[in-house]
Amino acid sequence: MIAARITRNAAKAVNGPGEARETDIGFTGGGNGTHQVYISGLTDHRLKDTDIVDHLVELVEKKAAEIEAQREAGESVLERAH
């Protein structure tokens, strides 16, 4: 399991595009069992009810891995500077 601090709102249900701008991963409820997914505050793709939980978990884990890699890269640069 990856443990990383996500500094913005991650995997948050939002009311619409305005609120989604403040999220790493946001999603809105939609009609006919579909939802709009926002990545880094931007509209990204639609998702069906049946796929939502697994897909959102996958997105959050991917974002956590990116944050962890950035943190480790930053530590590596600091270590080389000493």
> What is the spatial distance between Cα 21 and Cα 24, in angstroms, rounded to a whole number?
8
The residue extents of the domains of the chain are 12-81
23 Cβ contact list (under 8 Å, min separation 6) = 8, 9, 10, 11, 12, 14, 38, 41
User: Over its length of 82 residues, how does the chain's per-residue pLDDT go in tens digits?
Assistant: 334 444 455 555 667 777 877 888 888 887 788 888 888 888 999 988 888 889 988 998 998 898 889 888 887 665 666 5
> What is the spatial distance between Cα 32 and Cα 70, in angstroms, rounded to a whole number?
38
12-81: CATH class: alpha beta
